[in-house]
Chains A and B, each alone.
Chain A
Amino acid sequence: MNRPVTPPVRTPSTFQQRFDELITSNPMMIEVTRFKRKFLSVSSNNTVNIAVLMLFGVVYLAILALVFSANGYLQPSILVNLQLVLVCFLVPSMFHGTIAGERERRSWDLLLVAPISKAQIVVGKFFAAVATLFVAIGACALPISIAAAMYAGRNPDIARFNPVGVVLAQQVMVFAFGVALAAFTILFSARVRRGLTALGVVFGLETLFLVVVPIFVGLMVAGSNGPDNVLMDFTFFLHPFYTLDKMQPKWQSSYEQVQTFSPWMWGTPQILIYLGMAVVFLQWAIATLYYAENDVKFIPDKKKVDA
């Protein structure tokens, strides 16, 4: 018996399709342009924007001046920490309105009636956030590299505590944390009606998890065992500032050799986990939007129902 030979049908892999839908041919990628305009352009007739940009320019110049005036005695890691502080404040303030803002501005309906999936909307907005973040981190990288170079030039011995590789890895870590924070902010922006609510919630949770809980746990744990105990490492495994510190080479207690931490313990896992968290947050945001398609169902309007 002759079996008819069916020619193999080449169907594009579903991954490829998904990738096209979400990235390469996602019309929501116009958000990237919009964000660029919003945050990085002086030509738009937005005086607030120009004021904020100028403020940033001043701060940026101040940091550069600081780096140069320190004349090589400024540890780049201080700047990286500063960069992380900036990320903690800037990411929520820039992205809290991504979805809630559209609800407030009432442009959201126009997107929802269009034949575009929730995933496309969220991914488009997320990439706009990431692109902006990338530019911001890139801008910070300049003074940090200058500081690192000057530092190394001043004192090659001390420079062992800030090897270029570590400084770079720290930046990647900060970026990954920023990405997760952006996804987190977008998630809350998707879940509430007002942008300011999202901002408040994200700042609140940040304060709770990055400040209040660490102080509390630190007090409990440190008193008993000294700073370098395992419980502490475990508790703060995902704390970005703690991680930055751990990535940094340190003096041994003998003050003779440099103690380095394995990048497989501090750095790599955090970066991967942050990126993974970003994916989870985005997925969650998409699910939330599906639920919130009809915002009435999402947050019943008490006043109207009672009327």
Chain B
Amino acid sequence: MLEVKNLRKEYGPLTAVKGISFSLKPGDIFGFIGSNGAGKTTTIRMISTLLEPTSGTAVLNGADIIANPMDVRRMIGYMPDFFGLYDDVKVWEYLDFFAAIYRVPSGQRHDIITNVLELTDLTVKKDAFVQSLSRGMQQRLCLARCLVHDPALLLLDEPASGLDPRARADLKELIAELGRMGKIVIVSSHILPELADFCNCVGIIERGELLAFGTVDDVVRGIQPTRELEIRVLADAPNAARAVSAMNGVHEVRSTGEDTVRVEFSGTLEGQADIIDKLVRDGYRVVGLREQQADLEDVFLRLTTGAVN
């Protein structure tokens, strides 16, 4: 359980994060979306105990980031937006080093590292020097490093940046797997489509303010409560439009030409079925129905002005 409470960070006159609050439970994959400079990295660094908040705090499984940073550190895996690995160490040694730092008992290290390498698909590289790995592999190694101590919370800052599409897809799969393992995962990105399909929870941040937070559906519905139903009929669309205009949940009806009715609708699925039912019973020949719901991209563009600090 992660509770972020009114987290705020000021850099002199500039307030990079303006009192952000949210909470996540195990298994949540939280997509943290915002343009460059919105305050994602600052927020993540505060949660990871690297940056002292100006005010506010966050509590992870009972440990406060300000009062018990060491306890928090034991429970988190943090992957910075920019990071460097060491030269002159091998993949295995690198992981063993971090396992030691995280006080993984030496008897278990071998198995854990084997598993983590397996999970991140680096088994074949276990004896390679880390500087010889490709960018995507280094990214995965950094993630592997975050996993050796079985953290409850993963903070991944722009993990997909600089990866080719193939590596991105692999990474998404891996993150989804981590969610299934019951970890809380926070993934930040300034690219929307990257996150929408595997996060069960999103937050949109701009200029240090969390503009929206919730499940993807909630967020979309919160911003745009109505969806558009595009109903195609064989003929007589204007009359069909009039027929449904007074029904529950219908905000606005337009007809285009003789064969298309567009309904701005905010009702339940039940209500949606009723509309079709009514049209059919009134003798209109319904050919098809298409729902057009705003997606995260629309929401994002609608919410944010593109301004940065």
Contact = CB atoms under 8 A, between A and B. Distances in A.
A110 interface: yes
A45 B132 contact: yes
Interface in B89-146: 89, 93, 97-98, 100-103, 129, 132, 142, 145
A114 B95 CA distance: 13
Contact of B102 (A106, A115, A304): A115
Interface of B: 11-14, 48-52, 70, 73-74, 76, 78, 80, 82-89, 93, 97-98, 100-103, 129, 132, 142, 145, 309
Interface stretch (A30-38, A54-62, A63-71, A76-84): A30-38
B11 A304 contact: yes
A163 B257 CA distance: 111
Interface centre among A34, A37, A109, A111 (most CB of B within 10 A): A109
Interface string A1-44: 00000000000000000000000000110100110011000001
B100 A109 contact: no
26 contacts: A27-B97, A30-B100, A33-B89, A44-B88, A44-B129, A105-B84, A106-B84, A107-B86, A109-B50, A109-B78, A110-B83, A111-B101, A113-B48, A113-B50, A113-B78, A114-B98, A115-B102, A115-B103, A294-B50, A294-B51, A296-B51, A304-B11, A305-B11, A305-B12, A305-B13, A307-B309
Interface in A290-307: 293-294, 296-297, 300, 304-305, 307
B83 A114 contact: no
A115 B101 contact: yes
A286 B103 CA distance: 21
Contacts of A305: 11-14
A46 B87 CA distance: 10
A297 B88 CA distance: 31
A41 B16 CA distance: 46
A30 B80 contact: no
Contact of B11 (A28, A114, A296): A296
A307 B51 CA distance: 20
Interface string A265-307: 0000000000000000000000000000110110010001101
B100 A34 contact: no
Contacts, number: 80
Contacts of B73: 113-115
A243 B70 CA distance: 46
B83 A109 contact: yes
Contact of B101 (A33, A38, A106, A114): A114
A85 interface: no
Contacts of A44: 88, 129
A258 to B, nearest CB: 49
A214 B164 CA distance: 60
A152 B85 CA distance: 52
A112 interface: yes
A220 interface: no
A116 interface: yes
Contacts of A46: 87-88
B14 A116 contact: no
Contact of B82 (A33, A106, A115): A106
B50 A293 contact: yes
A102 B51 CA distance: 17
Given A115-B73, A296-B51, A304-B11, A106 B80 contact: yes
Contacts of A102: 84
Contact of B14 (A34, A107, A307): A307
Given A106-B82, A294-B50, A45 B129 contact: yes
A177 B224 CA distance: 71
Contacts of A116: 101
A33 B102 CA distance: 19
A38 B82 CA distance: 24
5 tightest Cβ-Cβ pairs between the two chains A and B: A27-B100, A105-B84, A37-B88, A106-B84, A107-B84
A102 B85 CA distance: 9
Contact of A113 (B11, B49, B87, B97): B49
Contacts of B50: 109, 112-113, 293-294
Interface string A90-111: 0000000000001001110111
B51 A110 contact: no
Interface centre among A33, A293, A296 (most CB of B within 10 A): A296
A294 B80 CA distance: 14
A38 B294 CA distance: 55
Nearest to B12: A305
B43 to A, nearest CB: 14
Nearest to A116: B101
Nearest to A41: B88
A259 B102 CA distance: 58
Contact of B89 (A27, A34, A114, A300): A34
